Amino acid sequence: MEVMRFSVLSLIGHDPHPLTGELPSPADRFEEVIATAAVAEELGFDSYSVGERHAGAFLSSSPSVMLGAIAARTRTIRLLTGVTVVAILDPVRVAHGLPPRPPVDHRGRLRAEPAGAVGDAPAVRGGDRPGGAAGGAFDALAVRAQAG
């Protein structure tokens, strides 16, 4: 029998409140995300994801740091990187900073979601990295993941 699973995804948007126009401080926004994850756990959600985002009004440039803070305040909910953009990161650092050896959570709740980047910016295309395209980054991450 298949079970329906529910997850919450946050890119940690940082926009003014739609009614008051007030812009919360980044610290307040981070605390709100951590509290939301704790409530999601209490409500029985299966997982909470923080996706990586480097443009626009978002504060989620380092999901693993935020997931560490969430892991400290939760016990059972699975924690996921909504997206890890290996095209603009060092794949070895990504592989070592996330499973199979996550830095904070030792209960097997953290899982990486490596993904290709979508967009036209040179960094997204891999053009700002030495060596150019992102294909090598995926290969290096895959080798590390298989090595465990």
Are the C-beta atoms of residues 102 and 54 closer than 8 Å to each other? Answer: no
Residue pLDDT, tens place only, 111-130: 666 655 555 444 444 444 44
Nearest one of 118, 79, 114 to 95, comparing CA atoms:
114
Give the Cα separation of 91 and 88 in Å (integer). 9
Return the domain boundaries, the chain. Answer: 7-147
CATH (residue range 7-147): 3.20.20.30
Looking at per-residue pLDDT, the higher value among 46 and 138 belongs to: 46
Are the C-beta atoms of residues 51 and 63 closer than 8 Å to each other? Answer: yes
State residue 86's pLDDT score: 74
Q: Is the peptide bond before 63 cis (omega within 30 degrees of 0)?
A: no
Residue pLDDT, tens place only, 73-115: 999 999 988 877 777 777 777 777 665 444 444 466 766 666 5
Whole-model pTM: value is 0.68
Nearest one of 116, 127, 130, 42 to 83, comparing CA atoms:
116
Q: Return the bridge partners of 83, or none.
A: 51
